[in-house]
Structure 1
Amino acid sequence: MGPEVQTPPAGLDLLADEVTTPIDLALRAELAVRGLRADPQLQRRGGAGPSNDGHWLLGSASGCGSRTTLPMADDSPFALDAEGRLTRDGVVVEDVAVEPIARPAFYDLTTADGVRYEQLARLHGNDVLATTVVQTCIRYGPEATRCRFCTIEESLRAGSTAQVKRPEDLAEVAAAAVRLDGVRQMVMTTGTSNGRDRGARHLARCVAAVLEAVPGLPIQVQIEPPLDLEWIDRLHEAGAAAVGIHVESLDEEVRRRWTPGKATVPIARYEEAWRRAVAVFGPNRVSTYLLVGLGEDPDELVAGAERLIAIGVYPFVVPYRPMAGSLADADGVPAPSAATLLRVTGRVARALRHAGMRGADQVAGCAACGACSALAADGG
């Protein structure tokens, strides 16, 4: 006799104005913070972003799955059964399909110098190529300046990546990833440099080289506000289609505690950079991460997201997840509750829908991929 089938659990303490939240968003939020019991080899290891989760396609059993990152958690109530179906406490979750994303073919190639393509760029989701063009950061030295969720230099120490990616090598990798694995967009981020460009110079070179090898490939670049805002224009001139300027929190106390080095850059300077980027790249081609779970009041987080939306910036709302090797993980800081994530995500998604802004319309980048956030599950 087969296992019992149940509908996805609601079971979350919603606010009165959120009772119409679709159940798929509730399930997506709970999966995002409680994770999945699955083969740890399916998990991405290390990196600059707020997540080193496993990459999956998640969706209706009768339809196409969307890119999704889920933590690999031994204590999660969610798991895959022998037939690959999603279960909660051993009971199959009705009409939900979860499919692991296979190892891409381009990982098996190397450059003429013997560098593995996998050390130069990684597959995110099923069709997004991502790379950190410089794997060191001026913020990553002493604890007094390091972002507490970040592990940008841990993967470098482990030997799983190259410190500086050469433009010609990234062009070679991108061409192979498009040809062999159907990659359709690319994300380039960087550790912050001491220069007035804050790393934009090398990003621009990498963008130009990749587009020469793969004309028309949409590329998002990610950077701190340059000291010279003209570098935002130069990134666009190099061919970047979108830009992420990530602040993580708009709350000054949270910034000082979680991103002490970046907190020395005033929010006003971020606003100048966002507005300059919107003027150059266009509305909804600029994004910033807002992390849920750093201690910021949820209502204030939503209000800040709405202010960003009003100036054409997409607030990519993502739950904080502990990453091995980070300062926060060493301190035992947990992920936010599923209820909090649902509350924030649902309200920000509604604001995005009202403004006519979808992550997919970013063309390239984290919001266009959408895997690390639950916003896309509610039309954001």
Structure 2
Amino acid sequence: MRTGIDIGCPGATRSDAPGGSGFGTRVEIALQGVRVDAPVQRRSGAGPSDDNHVLVDGANAALPINPQSPYLVRDGRLMRGSVDTGLSVQVVPRPRFYDLVTADGVPYEKIARLHGADVLATTVVQTCIRYAEQDRCRFCAIEESLRSGSTIAAKTPAQLAEVAEAAVRLDGVRQMVMTTGTTAGPDRGARYLARCVRAVAEAVPGLPIQVQCEPPADLSVLTTLREAGATAIGIHVESLDEEVRRRWMPGKATVPMEQYEAAWDEAVRVFGRNRVSTYL
């Protein structure tokens, strides 16, 4: 599985990079992880996993859990041994919405999770047609969290709307991310994403929602997502190198690059500039 290496850059004070950005230290903790007991963690999932969610100089960060890391957090400071690196680190407190359950007894935490201090994230369908050993992306652990019992296989639009409303009201969530495992239909899961987005948008008007999916065969589904209330989209190619694609994600590699390029172009037309992204 991939480890979380998403670290913010504003506001650092250490001068190990031009302008004192602390960039070198940030890269090191992204790769080597930290020793800290953070109440908001993720042990497995579709993307970055086995991580602590903290604020590094006030910016959301997901850092790998590593008991052997030379970096540790002490009294809100990032230390390398006894040396203060110049970066502050605050753990993200456990959100209050984690203590709630739906009427049918499903803990909110199994429906959507807090990422960083103010982002709500969910995988609406926690299975993937590409998860068979010969097809799966080698960095993905989407079904491991399902097997461990930390989530449910499919979240309903009503459940997601209920949890999103509580997360905004109780914990100050300011944006939401919805991804999905790839389904068998030609839309590859995008139409169900749209149903979920619409429910959340109706329950929490104005909440920015990013969706993530493979390129749908019918690109008009991108308009359906936008009209449902999605404000941004990620269509993740993982690599632009065909050999790497075939080796690391044999299932996704069967989707030609031309389909990704066409989907990106249409997504920019539908969502607008700077609202379309990909993972490399």
Whether TM exceeds 0.5 here: the answer is yes
How far did residue 9 of structure 1 move?
7.8
How far did residue 231 of structure 1 move?
0.7
The reply to whether residue 71 of structure 1 matches residue 64 of structure 2 is: yes
Q: 1:187 to 1:42 in 2, by over 3 A?
A: closer
Corresponding position of 1:289: 279
Q: Any conservation in 2 of the 1:188–1:221 contact (CA below 8 Å)?
A: yes
The reply to whether residue 26 of structure 1 matches residue 24 of structure 2 is: yes
Match for 1:112 among 82, 100, 103?
103
Q: Any conservation in 1 of the 2:39–2:94 contact (CA below 8 Å)?
A: no
Q: Could you report, residue by residue, the CA deviation over 1:253-293 in whole angstroms, capped at 9, with x for unpaired residues?
A: 11111111000111111000000000100111000011xxx
Q: Could you report, residue by residue, the CA deviation over 1:185-239 in whole angstroms, capped at 9, with x for unpaired residues?
A: 0000000001011001110000000111111111011000001111111101111
Match for 1:211 among 189, 201, 213?
201
Alpha-carbon separation, structure 2, partners of 1:103 and 1:197: 36
Runs in 1 of length 4+ with deviation above 6 angstroms? none
Alpha-carbon separation, structure 1, partners of 2:256 and 2:226: 24
**Cα RMSD after superposing both structures:** 1.5
Match for 2:41 among 22, 40, 43?
43
Q: Could you report, residue by residue, the CA deviation over 1:40-88 in whole angstroms, capped at 9, with x for unpaired residues?
A: 75531111113331100111xxxxx11011111122110022x232110
The reply to whether residue 140 of structure 1 matches residue 131 of structure 2 is: yes
Alpha-carbon separation, structure 2, partners of 1:171 and 1:52: 27
TM-score (norm 2): 0.92
Q: 1:128 to 1:41 in 2, by over 3 A?
A: closer
Corresponding position of 1:93: 85
Q: Any conservation in 2 of the 1:211–1:217 contact (CA below 8 Å)?
A: yes
Q: 1:42 to 1:240 in 2, by over 3 A?
A: closer
Q: Any conservation in 2 of the 1:35–1:71 contact (CA below 8 Å)?
A: yes
Match for 2:264 among 264, 274, 282?
274
Alpha-carbon separation, structure 2, partners of 1:21 and 1:35: 24
Alpha-carbon separation, structure 1, partners of 2:21 and 2:69: 19
Where 1:276 maps in the other structure, the secondary structure is helix
Q: Any conservation in 2 of the 1:40–1:72 contact (CA below 8 Å)?
A: no
Where 1:139 maps in the other structure, the secondary structure is coil
Corresponding position of 1:127: 118
Match for 1:254 among 229, 241, 244?
244
Alpha-carbon separation, structure 2, partners of 1:214 and 1:220: 14
Structure with the higher fraction of residues in helix conformation: 1
Q: Could you report, residue by residue, the CA deviation over 1:154-202 in whole angstroms, capped at 9, with x for unpaired residues?
A: 0001111010000001000000000000001000000000101100111
The reply to whether residue 232 of structure 1 matches residue 225 of structure 2 is: no
Where 1:68 maps in the other structure, the secondary structure is strand
Alpha-carbon separation, structure 2, partners of 1:50 and 1:196: 26
Q: Could you report, residue by residue, the CA deviation over 1:13-49 in whole angstroms, capped at 9, with x for unpaired residues?
A: xxxxxx7475422221111111101227553111111
The one-letter amino acid of 1:89's match is G
Q: Could you report, residue by residue, the CA deviation over 1:82-110 in whole angstroms, capped at 9, with x for unpaired residues?
A: x232110222223x210000010000000
Alpha-carbon separation, structure 2, partners of 1:190 and 1:219: 14
Q: 1:27 to 1:79 in 2, by over 3 A?
A: same
Q: Any conservation in 2 of the 1:148–1:259 contact (CA below 8 Å)?
A: yes
Corresponding position of 2:179: 189
How many residue pairs are counted as aligned between the two chains? 268
Q: Any conservation in 1 of the 2:15–2:22 contact (CA below 8 Å)?
A: no
Q: Any conservation in 2 of the 1:243–1:287 contact (CA below 8 Å)?
A: yes
TM-score (norm 1): 0.68
Q: Any conservation in 1 of the 2:38–2:91 contact (CA below 8 Å)?
A: no
Alpha-carbon separation, structure 1, partners of 2:19 and 2:267: 33
The one-letter amino acid of 1:130's match is A
Alpha-carbon separation, structure 2, partners of 1:112 and 1:23: 48
